Amino acid sequence: MSEIELNGVSRWFPGPPKLVAVDNVSLRLSAGQVLGIVGESGCGKSTLARLVLGLLAPSAGQIAVQGTTVGALDRRARARLIQPVFQDPFQSLNPRQTVREIVGLPLAVQRVDIAEQRLRVTEVLWQVGLSPELATRRPSELSGGQRQRVAIARAIILRPRILVLDEPTSALDVSVQAQILNLLAGLQATFNLTMILISHNLAVVEHLAHEVAVMYLGRIVERAPTEALFASPQHPYTQALLASVLTPEPGLGVPDIALGDIMPDPRYIPPGCRLHPRCPVAEPRCRVVAPQPIRREGRMVECLLTA
């Protein structure tokens, strides 16, 4: 049984015009697998993360964790299985609560007694590299890296099976990013965590992920083992992403990827291959024929030119 499985998942928002954020996505992750999802802003990465977390319901398709549909799980059961780590810890942590209250909140929701909460908070703070002496401080008294460690501690205190990481290092100084990535890699190995890693930074994905899925206008257009994808990208969009000069500066997103000035708009998805208005190698058939997934040698690509 897969740890998490998405079958034909779509999510759209009413218009006019209708905005299609995620379009017929199917994924399957085994226990302990780390999947990186990359793409430009607006491609549907964060919407997909919210669907997995149960924060949004699919407009079509189904998401199952260990064989149980996410929508059928109550909030406590879902929290024991899946936890998020968001982009900006200063926004995702309650400024009025202490570190002990923030990290212990999932235990309180699960009705764990106070004495047990204190013991487990102390333990998990050590595990994320924080001194328990920080337990009485508030987020404003911590550095950015410390705040993100608090967010990670809160996410793992219930020992979930799956972490959904939405740009977990992009709000941090460059000098701190590597520390957080090494922490996440260590926790993944220690607890055999399954992770979905959303990032615009391909270097982050290359460091953590076993496989990479590339999104464009709501579709997965390429998926492959990390080493294979970085060594030999098949889709023109993936090739453009890897050829771009990525910046380590937080908050800047993906730089110019040399695909012209026509930015993708999920409200107006073009016919045929949705990349064709920007694709440097598009042929006339690309304007009218929608590519189907091609699977070979453990990888998948949606492109007429690779058929």
213-260 per-position pLDDT tens digit? 999 999 999 999 999 999 999 999 999 999 874 555 555 554 556 686
Give domain status of residue 134, yes or no: no
Give the count of domains, the chain.
1
Q: What mean pLDDT comes out for the span 186-206? A: 94
Q: Does residue 52 fall inside a structural domain?
A: yes
pLDDT number for residue 150: 97
Query: Domain holding 246: CATH number?
Result: 3.40.50.300
176 located within any domain: yes
The boundaries of the domain holding residue 204 are 4-91+162-306
What HEC string does the chain produce?
CCCEEEEEEEEEECCCCCEEEEEEEEEEECCCCEEEEECCCCCCHHHHHHHHHCCCCCCEEEEEECCEEHHHCCHHHHHHHEEEECCCHHHHCCCCCCHHHHHHHHHHHCCCCHHHHHHHHHHHHHHCCCCHHHHHCCHHHCCHHHHHHHHHHHHHCCCCCEEEEECCCCCCCHHHHHHHHHHHHHHHHHHCCEEEEECCCHHHHHHHCCEEEEEECCEEEEEEEHHHHHHCCCCHHHHHHHHCCCCCCCCCCCCCCCCCCCCCCCCCCCCCCCCCCCCCCCCHHHHCCCCCCEEECCEEECCHHHC
Residue 297 counted as domain residue: yes
| 280, part of any domain | yes
* pLDDT tens-digit readout, 106-162: 999 999 999 999 999 999 999 999 999 999 999 999 999 999 999 999 999 999 999
Kindly state whether residue 153 falls inside one of the protein's structural domains: no
Q: Is residue 135 part of a domain?
A: no
| Reported pTM | 0.92
Q: Is the pLDDT of residue 10 over 60?
A: yes
The more confidently predicted of residues 87 and 137 is 137
Residue 18 forms part of a structural domain = yes
